[in-house]
């Protein structure tokens, strides 16, 4: 995804895979202070016991005026059990990122879309029942279209949020 767009990309994860360059915990990153211009953490903090320490580590390893991008769940099913510890709100995110100079929080998926997303999670379970054929998949497609349409019609209701994108500057 970053090929040809950056000078250097270092993939860090707690588990080995073909896209991982360094195996490390987000709570103890093996890099010197002020090493990166940009850090990206997608759907990690909810699986990190001490997410505050992980945020401090990312703060430590990005340069002054550097950026970090985080995505975290608001409303979501339990996943990655038993290592699924947290869900976040806009107000909690403002608090835990308060040491950064700038914080921008973008809601991804309003209350209406949360409802349809939860329904999709249940529909997905029916895709494993052979006798139902493609019916559950067809229902998911229809559900997605209906959710998108009703979300556009209803406007912004963000008392439930599926996911957040947090952009911070050191």
pLDDT in tens, 5-22: 888 899 999 999 998 999
Q: Are residues 3 and 82 in the same domain?
A: yes
Q: Quick one: pLDDT at residue 21?
A: 95
Q: Are residues 150 and 161 in the same domain?
A: no
Instruction: Find the largest Cα–Cα distance for the chain.
Output: 58
Which two three-digit tokens encode residue 118? 């939860």
Q: Are residues 90 and 24 in the same domain?
A: yes
Q: Are residues 65 and 45 in the same domain?
A: yes
What span, in angstroms and rounded, lies between the C-alpha atoms of 87 and 65? 28
Q: What is the pLDDT of residues 64-102, one digit of tens each?
A: 999 999 999 999 999 999 999 999 999 999 999 999 999
Q: Which domain holds residue 77?
A: 1-110+156-170
Which pTM value belongs to this model?
0.87
Q: Are residues 16 and 42 in the same domain?
A: yes
Q: Which residues pair with 120 in a beta bridge?
A: none
Q: Are residues 35 and 86 in the same domain?
A: yes
Q: Are residues 16 and 2 in the same domain?
A: yes
Count of structural domains within the chain: 2
């Amino acid at each position: 995804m970053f090929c040809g767009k950056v000078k250097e990309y270092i993939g860090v994860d707690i588990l080995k895979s073909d896209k991982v360059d360094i195996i490390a915990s987000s709570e103890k990153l093996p890099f010197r202070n002020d090493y990166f211009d940009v850090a990206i953490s997608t759907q990690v903090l909810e699986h990190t016991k001490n997410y505050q320490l992980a945020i401090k580590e990312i703060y430590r390893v990005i340069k002054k005026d550097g950026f970090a991008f985080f995505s975290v769940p608001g409303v979501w099913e339990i996943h990655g059990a038993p290592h699924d510890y947290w869900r976040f709100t806009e107000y909690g995110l403002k608090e835990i990122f308060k040491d950064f100079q700038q914080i921008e929080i973008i809601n991804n998926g309003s209350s209406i879309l949360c409802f349809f997303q939860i329904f999709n999670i249940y529909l997905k379970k029916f895709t494993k029942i052979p006798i139902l054929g493609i019916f559950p998949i067809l229902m998911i497609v229809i559900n997605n279209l209906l959710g998108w349409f009703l979300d556009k019609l209803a406007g912004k209701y963000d008392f439930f949020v599926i996911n957040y994108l947090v952009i911070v500057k050191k």
